[in-house]
Chain A
Amino acid sequence: MSACHDTRRPAAGQTAVVHVHLGGPLVALVGNPNCGKTALFNVLTGSRQKVANYAGVTVERKEGRYQTAGGKTLRILDLPGTYSLNPRSPDEKVTVDVLMGRARGEKRPDRVVCVVDATNLRRNLRLVLAVKRLGIPCAVALNMTDLAARRGIHVDADRLSRELGLPVVKTVGVRKEGATELRALLDAPADHWRADAPAADEHTQSVEADHDVVQRILAGLGLDRHVPHTLSDRIDRVVLHPVFGMVLLIAVLFLMFQAVFAWAEAPMGWIESATAWAGEAVGALLPAGWLQSLAVDGIIAGAGGVLVFLPQILILYFFILVLEESGYLPRAAFLLDRMMGSVGLSGRSFIPLLSSFACAIPGIMAARTIANPRDRLVTVMIAPLMTCSARLPVYALLIGAFIPKRDVAGAFELQGLVLFGLYIAGVISAMGIAWLAKRFTTHGLPRPLMMELPTYHWPTVRNVAIGLWQRAGIFVRRVGGIILALTVLMWFLASFPAPPAGATGPAIEYSLAGTLGRALSVIFEPIGFNWQISVALVPGMAAREVAVSALGTVYALSATGDDTALALMPLIAHSWSLATALSLLTWFVFAPQCLSTLATVKRETGGWKWTLVMAAYLFGLAWIACFIVYHLAVAAGWG
């Protein structure tokens, strides 16, 4: 609403955005990627964090509140990691803009803590020199001093402080008591923090000049010798090995998939029973009628339909967070870079696509880490082709009804093979689309990789737990709101207008959804869908699995959820041809039957253009593939 005011009166719009916490000086944490900055931020602020986006960009903004022993309340901002003040990705640009005081909706920080990795001072100190020139009161947190000491790197903090002309404190971001000195420094008045007068030649300092200064400082400290991390190197000899590395990667992925589907089964069952129980309890409280129907069929069923995926998403994120914290993820991206490169993507697209097997929404959000805008867009566009878990109920119904249970070649089971084939179909078509995009968009421009492989670390329980908590919150808020609203809308479309007196067919036939479904059958008849399927696809737009219960409703069955699928199976096995079933399976491989995914795409790409392109190409692809499958199947005598 205030967007139009922002351009004319930026100051008024900005203050409204900035003060999420009640005032207090703003302290920004700045540092190289992988310097343990976020761990330090977690130690200082614990769970008092607020995760949002920076105004106008999809870069995560983490702010936390911190109370000093002296009673001061500070706002602490965890800026995205950067190697320099010359940004190369949207994340790094935010850091630079905030520090320069030109980020939209952000106040320029009152103080800056430069977090440096004590095991890698040479690269880290260059950033300190650049930040110091900005003229903001500045201090240095010498982080990971425990790891440095273990590797025989002992940094004289007092001497470094004299050389830099800045206060320097030692910290251990992974230990709760590791920030004692930093806490004391945060309590000290700002004039204990030093800053240069803003230099006129702020940007003219070359990297080489800073490098020479750092070299001199390190020589003075007796730290100008490289101490390789031998354990990390030994691990890498296996992890990055062309053969063993790939075997290990496949094993990790296999374990992850097993976990996402096997471990989540029990909690998903609990959530389903809880939803059913809540529906019955509320249904008994409310008088029968539209209010009961809205509460039970609309709100409770809708919320349950979302929450049921939470266990899978948490397990997936648990793996991703542990792999990320340990330093394995960039190595997986490294191993797969060439493979992804053959279709014009880089290894960095691997994690977003992997996440999309649980749900496209966290996958599309994970594409934020891809610096190249073209790669990021292509990754977002193909993410919905990865078989998400919401397709499983539909696949289970159709495979159960139409594919006979029998062994193939003695070792495989036909139903399982068909399911595997559907996964592969999704992956192959995604690669095909990426390859096409490469043909038309890259123009042979080289795309940089330049990706750091950090030394290995043990993931800490605190950082993984805080990460999981934040991911879960984002998922429930974002998806919950959208699916809930849509489910209520679909409930409305399927319930109104009520059937006329003396009507014989199911109520849905007379509703808006029924009318819409019949109109749609003009489009769907050529690919073998009857009007009942067409009707079910309308509420199925909210989420794919809704199509199953919608089919149940259309076939006038009164059961819900799993019971519907069971009763529905023999019914559709009788009334549909195999060609229709194969066509519908094909439809669900491609069709973007998920409005929350489309809403996420709109959010992440910043507009309708790519959202509409995605919807159009996926629907088009689905229709064409179904047409081919249906007619081939009819020709094979399965019509």
Chain B
Amino acid sequence: MTTLDRAADFKPYRIARVAAPDRAPEWRDWLHELGFIPGETVRLMARAPGGDPLVIRVGSSTFALRMAEAACIQVAPLEDTPTA
């Protein structure tokens, strides 16, 4: 188990939990609404110059998330099974 900001590039992960920081509790709902929901598959697609923000694929959508935002998303590596 790790957080999305520490995920390896291009590898599929499954979202376990979304936990917002105390100073921005609304992030949890916002991330949920964008599709970052437990059970969904995510993948780190690219990093901006300097390493932040990140490009994340969730479902069929692509989002730019800052490191701090990606850190809210707890993920588990998905073994080399095809995405469900």
Contact B57 A449 (CB under 8 A): no
B6 CB, min distance to chain A CBs, angstroms: 18
B38 to chain A, nearest CB (A): 7
B:32-76 near A, CB below 8 Å: 32-35, 37-38, 41, 45-50, 52-53, 55, 57, 59-66, 68-69
Contact A451 B63 (CB under 8 A): yes
B79 interface residue per 8 A CB criterion: no
| Residues A123 and B35 in contact in the complex (CB < 8 Å), given A240-B55, A449-B65 | yes
Q: Any chain B CB within 8 A of the CB of A23?
A: no
Q: Does any Cβ of B come within 8 Å of A229's Cβ?
A: yes
Q: Does B83 contact A (CB under 8 A)?
A: yes
8 Å CB interface, A222-275 against B: 224-229, 232-233, 236-237, 240-243, 245-246
Q: What residues of A have a CB within 8 angstroms of the CB of B62 in the complex?
A: 232, 236, 452-455
In the complex where A211-B37, A226-B41, A334-B55 touch, is A450 in contact with B63 (Cβ < 8 A)? Answer: yes
Chain B contacts for A245, CB-based, 8 A: 49
Q: Are A338 and B52 in contact (CB under 8 A)?
A: yes
Query: Using Cβ atoms and an 8 Å threshold, which residues of chain A touch B33?
Result: 83-84, 86, 126, 207
Query: How many interface contacts (CB-CB < 8 Å) are there between A and B?
Result: 115
Q: Contacts of B37 on A, CB cut-off 8 Å?
A: 207-208, 211
Cβ of A119 within 8 Å of any chain B Cβ, yes or no, is: yes
Q: How far is the CB of A325 from chain B (nearest CB, A)?
A: 17
For the complex, what is the distance from the CA of A214 to the CA of B33, rounded to whole Å?
13
Q: Tell me the minimal C-beta distance from B48 to chain A in angstroms.
A: 6
Set of chain A residues within 8 Å of B46, measured between Cβ atoms = 236-237, 240-241
* Chain B positions within 8 Å of A445 at CB level: 23-24
Central interface residue in A237, A245, A330, A453, by most chain B CB within 10 Å: A453
Residue A470, interface by CB 8 Å: no
Chain B residues near A240: list those with CB within 8 A. Answer: 45-46, 48, 55
List the B side residues contacting A452 at CB < 8 Å. Answer: 34, 61-64
Q: Which of A602-637 contact B (CB under 8 A)?
A: none
Q: Which residue of B has the minimal Cβ distance to A449?
A: B66
Residue from B53, B63, B65, B69 in contact with A338 in the complex, judged by beta carbons closer than 8 Å: B53
Docked complex Cα distance between A347 and B60 (Å) = 23
- Given the complex of chains A and B, what is the CA–CA distance between A236 and B44 in angstroms? 13
Task: List residues of A (565-594) whose CB comes within 8 Å of B's CBs.
Answer: none
Question: Which partner residue on chain B sits nearest A121 by CB separation?
Answer: B60
* Shortest Cβ distance from A84 into B: residue: B33
Those of A434-454 within 8 Å (CB) of chain B:
445-446, 448-454
CB-CB nearest in chain B for A337: B53
Tell whether A334 pairs with B41 under 8 Å between CB atoms, given A226-B83, A448-B69: no
In the complex, the answer to whether A242 meets B49 with C-beta atoms within 8 Å is yes
Q: Does A405 contact B (CB under 8 A)?
A: no
Chain B residues lying within 8 Å of A226, measured Cβ to Cβ, are 41, 59-60, 83
Please measure, in the bound complex, the distance between the C-alpha atom of A243 and the C-alpha atom of B46, giving whole angstroms.
Answer: 12
Q: Please state if B60 and A448 are interface contacts (CB–CB under 8 Å).
A: no
Q: Is there a chain B Cβ closer than 8 Å to A175's Cβ? A: no
| B32: A residues at CB distance < 8 A | 207-208
Chain A 326-343 near chain B by CB (<8 Å), digits 1 or 0? 000010011101100100
- Please tell me if A374 contacts chain B, counting CB pairs below 8 Å: no
- Given A84-B33, A240-B46 in contact, is the A450-B61 Cβ separation under 8 Å? no
Contact (Cβ within 8 A) B61 A446: no
**Across-interface contacts of A242 in B (CB, < 8 A):** 47-50
Q: Is the beta-carbon distance between B53 and A334 smaller than 8 angstroms?
A: yes
A119 to B41: give the CA distance in the assembly, Å.
17
> Among A232, A241, A338, A455, which residue has the most Cβ atoms of chain B within 10 A?
A338
Return the contact of A337 from the options B35, B48, B61 (Cβ within 8 A). Answer: B48
Contact of A228 among B30, B57, B69 (CB under 8 A): B57
Q: Which 6 A-B pairs have the closest CB atoms?
A: A84-B33, A207-B32, A242-B49, A338-B50, A240-B46, A453-B62
Given A83-B34, A337-B64, 18 more pairs with CB closer than 8 A: A86-B29, A120-B61, A122-B60, A123-B35, A224-B84, A228-B60, A232-B62, A240-B45, A241-B46, A242-B48, A242-B50, A333-B64, A337-B48, A337-B53, A338-B48, A338-B50, A452-B63, A452-B64
Please name 23 pairs of A and B residues whose Cβ atoms are closer than 8 Å in the assembled complex, sorted by A.
Answer: A88-B26, A119-B60, A120-B59, A120-B61, A208-B38, A226-B60, A236-B45, A236-B46, A236-B62, A240-B45, A240-B55, A242-B50, A245-B49, A246-B49, A335-B49, A337-B48, A337-B53, A446-B24, A446-B68, A450-B65, A452-B61, A452-B62, A455-B62
Residues of A within 8 A of B (CB): 83-84, 86, 88, 119-120, 122-123, 126, 207-208, 211, 224-229, 232-233, 236-237, 240-243, 245-246, 330, 333-335, 337-338, 341, 347, 445-446, 448-455
